[in-house]
Structure 1
């Protein structure tokens, strides 16, 4: 690979057309060629594939007396019509042809250059304009020869057709796996793959009990309304291995390769690593420098069991992703949605049901519904106004005049809760104490559990979720019938909006399960102590669940202005009380 690297890197030392005397190939033309190498991801590995292509190219050039115009390599980048990444070295090779420094473009075979007819057409035009040629499969094809143009066009069609057929087969396999509930994509946190001892093929996922224990802790904490930041800190303090800890990815290898381009930054980075990690970082960069792709280097390092040089840490995003993991909840996703299939309904018809995952869930479906409601609720979303997360009633209490959320302000008399339009301004400590005492006395009531109807809320939410699932299945059936042409486009358009609205309403009802999830351990004689143990984010969620205070302008003026005027304060309790609840003045 070192010899190959020297050839790839030294792209400036290319001969001009006049400095070479290549033999003609069935014509009197003299060729100076550029070699283009490309290897897609395969079981054999990238470096071997690229080196094989380079060896073949050198032999071909020597045999036909072709001048060497340089080597270009785009490793592990697709050349098909489905490609999403640019191929910088491919464009550089074409620029050599356009500039006149070379007049022949060599590939190992036709598919190495492109599997897209549109790209082939562009290459062909360039070569025709400069009087150039394509070379692959041991032949030189002069693009000014009609027979050679026909041959290369046929090969280009076959190359594109190959990838089209491959895509069709892959998609068929993906649909089959989805229908059978088998896993797809990378291994989900909480699971381990098991393999057949006879064939070495994957037999599926089984629960990794150590990771599952961490998932269950995250679920419990989220249902208790612990802040995601608090959960991440707790896991990091305990030294719990992070999701995907130690795994190399394309991005991590790329990051090291970028640092390596700047010696000062690279030395500073190495100084931050543990002594045993420094040779690993050097090895990762060496793989890239030897021609390995970022993906290929990551694959090799992971296959050798080499951990990433910087240990991963838990953060709020990782905690949230684990809590909302559909894989951990046993939900099989296909095209971004839970996969549904048609089954007999017992009455001679068909119905849509969710596919049963082939692996065991770690998170119960009912918990997944609760977690989705809690973590996607507005009060859990961070926004640019971080002040709202620091003060209990900011945003939770609203102005009685304009309805806008109150925020914290200041004055010569101290901090205040204020309407952004200036309609209301209340002394911060007094309003905070008044509303908090109302909330705590309500939660402490002996009949609080009855007031908040915890069991009823759970049952209703579960029923709403089942109804939403039924509606989603019905929509999936309509979509399948429309795709199969069994339902007209007009009929589907007429039905879809109503179904989507009913699904939205049912999902909204199901999300109400977050109320009992918050309050189950927050009512009765221990409510005050339980509330005090919550962080500010949890406390805000609790008070927002039970009340939405509306604050009007104070009626007191002059000497009485320092006395809290409660006559224009509506605590905004969201539940009906059997009798009045006194609050502190």
Structure 2
């Protein structure tokens, strides 16, 4: 590479749970990462921005991260000199995969800029490699700790007869406000509005096939009903809802 030629950078952004469905956190990361590239004189080419929205990087996630996998392939093809991420946990929370990523960058001489650290790491240097390896260990441990807490809370809720899992479609939870102004669960009952809509066109069992579900979910009987969070009606979710 000739002296004075700007380094080519890729930026990667990720958020585990986009509860609003607006990718705001990903956009915020992108903005700060691009500012870091500008301030360092790095060029982000067309196609150099990668993001996985609403996807966890922990070992407990069941979702694939297509852009992270695509980025790793492009890094292996030596398309970039620098990778810019907002924090190390945006990368990979699986320790073995994080170490593989660091090894790839070390072998190819790819720099890693962590925007929240305001620092660019060169993992060919022992101290930089150790720092990011320890960050990966901390990220993996945070995932384990979060999982332990969630399981403990679910067990406690189950023992007390409180909700402790996904809210099943077709049912609603009834709460009352106590003297301390806090909500308390009274019971879980069928949601008659949903059941009436499901039953208008025929019996529940007629809707279990994914193709039929797709047609039924688009009919007027479902208009105005609250459906699956953010994503509408995935085929498998439709089937499970109607089977109930």
Which is greater in Rg? 1
Q: Structure 1 residues 201, 92: closer, same or farther in 2, change over 3 A?
A: farther
| Matched residue, 2:30 | 54
Q: Secondary structure at the match of 1:68?
A: coil
How many Å separate the matches in 2 of 1:316 and 1:122? 38
Q: Structure 1 residues 145, 81: closer, same or farther in 2, change over 3 A?
A: same
How many Å separate the matches in 1 of 2:240 and 2:136? 49
In the alignment, which of 186, 190, 204 is matched to residue 167 of structure 2?
A: 186
Q: Structure 1 residues 145, 316: closer, same or farther in 2, change over 3 A?
A: closer
How many Å separate the matches in 2 of 1:197 and 1:39? 36
Matches within 5 A, 1:535-546: none
Q: How many residues align?
A: 221
How many Å separate the matches in 1 of 2:179 and 2:227? 27
* RMSD of aligned residue pairs (Cα, Å): 3.9
Matches within 5 A, 1:511-526: none
How many Å separate the matches in 1 of 2:113 and 2:83? 6
| Matched residue, 1:161 | 141
In the alignment, which of 47, 55, 64 is matched to residue 86 of structure 1?
A: 64
Deviation sequence 1:415-473 (CA, Å, 0-9, x none): xxxxxxxxxxxxxxxxxxxxxxxxxxxxxxxxxxxxxxxxxxxxxxxxxxxxxxxxxxx
How many Å separate the matches in 1 of 2:176 and 2:12? 38
Q: Is the 8 A contact 1:79 1:113 kept in 2?
A: yes
Deviation sequence 1:52-89 (CA, Å, 0-9, x none): 10111011111122221410011111101222221111
Matched, 1:175 2:151: no
Matches within 5 A, 1:331-346: none
Q: Structure 1 residues 201, 248: closer, same or farther in 2, change over 3 A?
A: farther
Q: Structure 1 residues 190, 112: closer, same or farther in 2, change over 3 A?
A: closer
How many Å separate the matches in 2 of 1:192 and 1:105? 46
In the alignment, which of 68, 78, 92 is matched to residue 44 of structure 2?
A: 68
State the Cα distance separating 1:190 from its structure 2 match: 4.0
State the Cα distance separating 1:158 from its structure 2 match: 0.8
| Matched residue, 2:12 | 36
Q: Is the 8 A contact 2:18 2:53 kept in 1?
A: no
How many Å separate the matches in 2 of 1:194 and 1:110? 41
How many Å separate the matches in 2 of 1:169 and 1:61? 38
Q: Secondary structure at the match of 2:185?
A: strand
Matched, 1:103 2:81: yes
Q: Secondary structure at the match of 1:67?
A: coil
Matched, 1:211 2:189: no
Q: Is the 8 A contact 2:178 2:184 kept in 1?
A: no
Q: Is the 8 A contact 1:111 1:159 kept in 2?
A: yes
Matched, 1:135 2:119: no
Which 5+ residue runs of structure 2 have no aligned equivalent? 209-215
Matched, 1:114 2:95: no
Q: Is the 8 A contact 1:134 1:140 kept in 2?
A: yes
Q: Structure 1 residues 78, 246: closer, same or farther in 2, change over 3 A?
A: same
Q: Which of 1 and 2 has higher RCO (CA within 8 Å, sep 6+)? A: 2
| Matched residue, 1:473 | none
How many Å separate the matches in 1 of 2:181 and 2:168? 17
How many Å separate the matches in 1 of 2:233 and 2:170? 22
| Matched residue, 2:132 | 152
Matches within 5 A, 1:241-260: 245-249=225-229, 252=232
Q: Is the 8 A contact 2:227 2:233 kept in 1?
A: no
Q: Is the 8 A contact 1:191 1:211 kept in 2?
A: no
Q: What's the TM-score, normalizing by structure 1?
A: 0.33
